[in-house]
């Protein structure tokens, strides 16, 4: 798509070499660029897990940086690298989306010899079999995400992460408290464990964690942690008894978005107790408030080390 | 953008006339087209109402049909027509978004002399001052929409409509019933009017009604009708007592999406009792279910006459 | 999720039958509804084709109508039906997305005994291997869509359709003509076949065709027809010589959105010459104009019979 | 919506004080949060400029941080602050969107006495009158954005920025070079200044710059800088001669996304030569490639000081 060259560029086509003159590129434009690449690249990719191979439709953004001495980045190389890695993964299975991204990020630095760092981000639909409270099987939809950053030093340094986006349910503790208090004043509280009404809503929570070298993170565990931190998970099929059960559980665990994030942070600390202090984590919970037209959101961007203090 | 011509086209530019040869257009391609036009045209438009002039940022789709004898439609004329009408509306105020669309639709037929019908659709953000249950003022956000269709007969026949999209709240009657029944079985129902928990959620309801010649529809009335048909309206600011009140009201009026649509239909029949039978109405209610990852939706497309049967 | 009943509803749970009283449902609300259902249901589905089984991530909208005598539709049945059909397709392969939709539509009428019609719509990412002009292999991304409508008569009448959305390229014939004329006036036209500049852009074209009983439509053919009707297809990877070739071809085949739609209509007529007259077709082409902030769009909604006149 | 308290919370309603017990909040959940707030808040806001007052429909995200000792953030205060500032702006005009955001950010810290920092982001549709190459007036659509961050130190430290998103056109220099070379080889290049075909497309470029204390940035200047850095601006209405002119200019200034970003950086350096070194700038250019289904993107995140080196 674009050309990147210092002075001349050679194009072999049917035996012909073309030298393109780009000497005229003015000095005043010689700034380096933070990232140059392609966005919205959709690819089917295979990931091989303990229980078989799954095919994901992944949406990639793929970048390298660009030094001030280069006019353009060779964008078609980004696509070639993705294709090579995806093809190789058919023969030599890749066990995770973050490893696939890492392989791409590493090879980008080999192919873009002028780049000092590379960046790969991807998202894909994902499905898991779940059980409703009363034991019925359902298939639930999630989003997987993964990122990888590579930096050229003496060797290539890699930072990769895996994440999930989970849709679930939050019930508001605040409205519940006020309503309980009001009922109490009116002498209408039948017992301490009577379920009290409140507003509840669809919540969208994102959890992303760095996977340090030599460690492993299972995306399904991340989904579990998020679902346990919400007021209740949501399900595709709920017959009436199951529906009542989900509603009841959500009201037994009312949660602000702040609570959801903190519950997840607590679970992360326990689950990844052996991970190094510098491991980065990002948690965001967004409730599509049923009593407002806007959303409520809480977020923590930090490291496991900070959380351990 | 495109050229539309029978045989030749003349272009006046600096005194020069250009005749473009399009005779070579093959007969096998001579199909008429249902609609040809431009989409995503954003324009600030002024609408003058009893309480002053409001400026809306409207997003237009603007089409005419194309006969089989024309290679292309003069798309730039669509933009010229919109601009003229919008400019004229500054001097001679337009009182509604649907009248603005009608003016555009009518003029499209004058300008595209080859077209037999035209079509204009628009959407715009809209705000109204509301009161919370306990009387605090808030500003609430809605979407306005309008459409106009013109058809060239002996005269030009016009069909215009005005609509709204309203975000509000629904509480599910079904889960509430099951839970009431369960509490009853367990002897934990303190009284017949104890509020019973259920799932509730953000709901997005759309109501569009034809405005017959000689009649008027006030968009604010449509918003009122939708908000009265939901379990509860939603508000930008709710301090604790107001929040409890909204939650309480929603639980006193649990509604399926089916109920929301039918409540609106009932209100439409009463409010527009004098409108002709052939008046078209479209109502759709979509609840972003808090217990599922998918939405529930109900819709009725009909005429007032059908509803009156 | 919702309850639908005439008078009473029975819920079996742990041996208990609950009769819910909904007699109080007021007569003034007894309107039938055009459609009631669920939207945004994401499911992995397997479709078995001559060259193997592909797994698609399909996004479904699933509806039935609702008579005036029913308060609500049993929405969970929609999800149960989808799940059953999807599960059965693992054992007894389904050969197309439209057949999958038909199976769902038909079973919806068995399960919703009160409904007179049902409707299923789906979309899914889809990939095909293509060749660039100079013969390099690439994997290209498309959208597949399918719909099915079932109507209960003496028997169940079915109408199903298959469609595609294709991203490609259009080059504008109008600007090209004006510029050729200007160059000619200035005596700068080197020859009749010198490529003339014009604006070109990303185009998104949708083609949907009914699949009549006893006939078959191959989605890949639809994609071919659209790509042949654009100025040029687009490719994931284009090294410089291929890039030049694609640009050259696009300028040899400048196309308005009107042209794209008509080219497709011509191809449909030839390809489906044996299809019945009443076969419905829908073609829409939208160019994301590079010289404007808005889009140009042309559309034809018709039957093969109309096109044959 | 949420409650935030150390131990107890008092609610005054009709003379009653309620003390809610939240002592039970477990220590293991006491993490501070990076940001807690509301997203998607739509408000009409007035900004008074030299040439009159314009009403913008702004979409706000509004956050404060939350210490580990607080269970929840008082989200309704965020809305109250926005409303107060917007209402005050009617009486005492605010001259820019970034000043409006600053006022909100500052007041958030007064109102959320527990917060150490606050953050406000907004976006709004914006229109400017432009002239086509041949002098016709058009109204063009842009996006305005503004951000403000406040930090509580001895005093309140503020960082604000203003930005724009501009849709324009890029023509690819690389394809043009290859095609010029090919034409040259074939002896078909009529002259050095013959316009050479290439692919061109819609481009979306974002430019955001910090507005340091005591300095001013005019959003219209930012729009000018972006439009001058593209291959060509785009226009709502282009009759044939103007259309040819825009296409010609775009082909005289072919630009990669890398070029667009660097052109803007050069203009920023000249225009804001007196701004301090630490002034932050963010530039991103995204071309919706007409020959690919994916986009090309370049980005620079830096300071004026870095650019001056």
Read off the pLDDT of residues B130-149 as tens digits, 9 standing for 90 and up.
999 999 999 999 999 999 99
pLDDT the model gives residue B18? 39
Rounded to whole angstroms, the Cα distance separating A219 from A282 reads: 14
pLDDT tens column, D126-185: 999 999 999 999 999 999 999 999 999 888 899 999 999 999 999 999 999 999 999 989
Let me know: does C70 contact C26? Beta carbons within 8 Å. Answer: no
Torsion of CA C20, C23, C24, C29, to 10 degrees: 110
D11, closest residue in chain B (CA to CA): B240
Q: Do B243 and A291 touch (CB under 8 A)?
A: yes
Interface test with C, best of D172, D236, D286, D292 (most C CBs within 10 A): D292
Confidence class of residue B5 from pLDDT cuts 50, 70 and 90? very low
What value does the mean pLDDT take over residues D268-275? 98
Rounded to whole angstroms, the Cα distance separating C191 from C21 reads: 85
Rounded to whole angstroms, the Cα distance separating B157 from B151 reads: 5
Q: Pull the structure tokens for residue B216.
A: 């008027």
Q: Which of D72, D258, D300 sits opposite A256 (nearest CB)?
A: D72
pLDDT tens column, A40-64: 999 999 998 877 888 899 999 999 9
Which residues on chain D are in Cβ contact (under 8 Å) with B11?
240-241
Rounded to whole angstroms, the Cα distance separating A126 from A124 reads: 6
C-alpha distance from A47 to closest chain B C-alpha (Å): 25
pLDDT the model gives residue D154? 83
Which residues on chain A are in Cβ contact (under 8 Å) with D204?
none
Which residues on chain A are in Cβ contact (under 8 Å) with D263?
29
Percent above pLDDT 90 for chain A = 80
pLDDT the model gives residue D25? 66
pLDDT at residue D188 tops 80: yes
Helix (H) or strand (E) holding B292: none
What value does the mean pLDDT take over residues A150-164? 94
> Higher pLDDT residue, B277 or B88?
B277
D202, closest residue in chain C (CA to CA): C290
Helix (H) or strand (E) holding B75: helix B75-91
Alpha carbon separation from B221 to B164, B227, C170, C283 (Å, rounded): 10, 10, 45, 38
> Higher pLDDT residue, A128 or B24?
A128
Interface test with D, best of B11, B57, B248 (most D CBs within 10 A): B57
B250, closest residue in chain A (CA to CA): A199
A82-96, B165-179, C53-67, C198-212: segment of lowest average pLDDT:
A82-96
pLDDT tens column, B38-82: 999 999 999 988 778 888 999 999 999 999 999 999 999 999 999
D16, closest residue in chain B (CA to CA): B241
Which residues on chain B are in Cβ contact (under 8 Å) with D204?
none
Confidence class of residue D16 from pLDDT cuts 50, 70 and 90? very low
pLDDT tens column, A257-299: 999 999 999 999 999 999 999 999 999 999 999 999 999 999 9
What value does the mean pLDDT take over residues D106-134? 97
What value does the mean pLDDT take over residues A145-167? 95
pLDDT the model gives residue C11? 36
C-alpha distance from B131 to closest chain C C-alpha (Å): 28
| Average pLDDT for chain B | 90
A246-255, B177-186, B298-307: segment of lowest average pLDDT:
B177-186
> Higher pLDDT residue, D228 or A25?
D228
C-alpha distance from C259 to closest chain D C-alpha (Å): 18
pLDDT the model gives residue B91? 82
Q: Which of A41, A236, A240 sits opposite C79 (nearest CB)?
A: A236
Nearest residue to A272 via CA among A230, A210, A220, A205: A210
Which residues on chain A are in Cβ contact (under 8 Å) with C44?
127, 139
pLDDT at residue C104 tops 80: yes
Tell me the residues of A at the C interface, defined by beta carbons under 8 Å apart: 1, 3, 11, 13, 41-44, 55, 57, 76, 79-80, 83, 125, 127, 139, 141, 236-241, 243
The C-alpha R_g of chain A, in whole angstroms, comes to 25
Contacts of B91 (CB under 8 A, 6+ apart): none
Rounded to whole angstroms, the Cα distance separating D1 from D82 reads: 16
Q: Do C291 and D182 touch (CB under 8 A)?
A: no
Alpha carbon separation from B81 to B100, C158, C293 (Å, rounded): 11, 44, 17
D75, closest residue in chain B (CA to CA): B237
Confidence class of residue C49 from pLDDT cuts 50, 70 and 90? confident
pLDDT at residue C40 tops 90: yes
DSSP H helical segments within chain C, as ranges?
Answer: 75-91, 97-111, 173-185, 219-229, 240-252, 257-271, 304-308
C-alpha distance from A246 to closest chain C C-alpha (Å): 12
| Average pLDDT for chain D | 90
Interface test with B, best of A165, A171, A193, A244 (most B CBs within 10 A): A244
pLDDT at residue A15 tops 50: no
Confidence class of residue D95 from pLDDT cuts 50, 70 and 90? confident
What value does the mean pLDDT take over residues D1-28? 42
Domains of chain D: 1-120 (3.30.1130), 153-309 (3.10.270.10)
C-alpha distance from C9 to closest chain B C-alpha (Å): 11
Q: Which of C3, C83, C237 sits opposite A79 (nearest CB)?
A: C237
What ipTM did this prediction achieve? 0.90
C-alpha distance from D241 to closest chain C C-alpha (Å): 7
C-alpha distance from D99 to closest chain C C-alpha (Å): 29
Nearest residue to B67 via CA among B6, B137, B17: B6
Q: Do A57 and C125 touch (CB under 8 A)?
A: yes
Which residues on chain B are in Cβ contact (under 8 Å) with A250?
199, 290-291
For chains A and B, CB pairs below 8 A equal: 140
What value does the mean pLDDT take over residues B104-132? 97
pLDDT tens column, C109-123: 999 999 999 999 999
Q: Hey, which residues does C46 pair with through a beta bridge?
A: C55
Q: Do A11 and C240 touch (CB under 8 A)?
A: yes
Q: Do B286 and C71 touch (CB under 8 A)?
A: no
Q: Is A260 helix (H, G, I), strand (E, B) or coil?
A: helix
Confidence class of residue A305 from pLDDT cuts 50, 70 and 90? very high
pLDDT the model gives residue D264? 98
Q: Do A300 and D266 touch (CB under 8 A)?
A: no
Contacts of D31 (CB under 8 A, 6+ apart): A261, A262, A265, A266, A300, A307, D68
Q: Which of C202, C251, C291 sits opposite D246 (nearest CB)?
A: C291
Q: Do D33 and A261 touch (CB under 8 A)?
A: yes
pLDDT the model gives residue C24? 56
Nearest residue to A33 via CA among D295, D253, D296: D296
Interface test with B, best of D41, D81, D241, D246 (most B CBs within 10 A): D241
pLDDT at residue D306 tops 90: yes
A199-208, B279-288, C12-21, D116-125: segment of lowest average pLDDT:
C12-21
pLDDT at residue A89 tops 90: no
The pTM for the full model equals 0.93
Tell me whether residue A304 is exposed, middle or buried, using C-beta atoms within 10 angstroms of its C-beta: 0 to 12, 13 to 18, 19 or more: buried
For chains A and D, CB pairs below 8 A equal: 174
What single-letter DSSP state applies at residue C153? S
Contacts of B81 (CB under 8 A, 6+ apart): B62, B104, B107, B108, B111
């Amino acid at each position: 798509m674009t050309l990147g060259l210092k002075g001349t560029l050679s194009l072999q086509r049917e035996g012909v070499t073309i030298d393109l003159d780009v000497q005229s590129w003015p000095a005043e434009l010689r700034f380096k660029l933070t990232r140059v690449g392609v966005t919205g690249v959709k690819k089917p990719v295979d990931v091989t897990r303990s229980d078989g191979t799954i095919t994901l439709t992944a949406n990639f953004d793929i970048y390298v940086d660009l030094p001030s001495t280069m006019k353009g980045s060779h964008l078609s190389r980004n696509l070639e690298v993705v294709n090579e890695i995806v093809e190789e993964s058919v023969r030599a299975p890749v066990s995770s989306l973050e490893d696939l991204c890492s392989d791409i990020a590493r090879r980008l630095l080999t192919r873009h010899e002028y780049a000092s760092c590379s960046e790969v981000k991807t998202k894909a639909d994902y499905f898991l079999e779940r059980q409703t409270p009363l034991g019925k099987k359902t298939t639930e939809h999630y989003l997987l995400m993964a990122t990888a950053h590579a930096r050229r030093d003496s060797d290539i340094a890699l930072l990769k992460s895996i994440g999930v986006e989970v849709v679930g349910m939050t019930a508001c503790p605040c409205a519940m408290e006020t309503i309980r208090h009001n009922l109490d004043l009116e002498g209408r509280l039948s017992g301490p464990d009577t379920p009290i009404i409140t507003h509840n809503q669809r919540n969208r929570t994102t959890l992303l964690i760095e996977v340090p070298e030599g460690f492993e993170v299972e995306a399904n565990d991340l989904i579990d942690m998020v679902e346990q931190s919400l007021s209740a998970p949501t399900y595709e099929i709920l017959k009436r008894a199951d529906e009542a059960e989900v509603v009841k559980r959500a009201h037994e665990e009312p949660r602000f978005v702040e609570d959801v994030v903190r519950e997840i942070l607590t679970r992360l600390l326990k689950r990844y107790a052996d991970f190094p202090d510098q491991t980065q984590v990002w948690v965001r919970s967004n409730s599509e408030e049923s009593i407002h037209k806007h959303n409520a959101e809480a977020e923590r961007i930090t490291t496991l080390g900070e959380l351990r203090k």
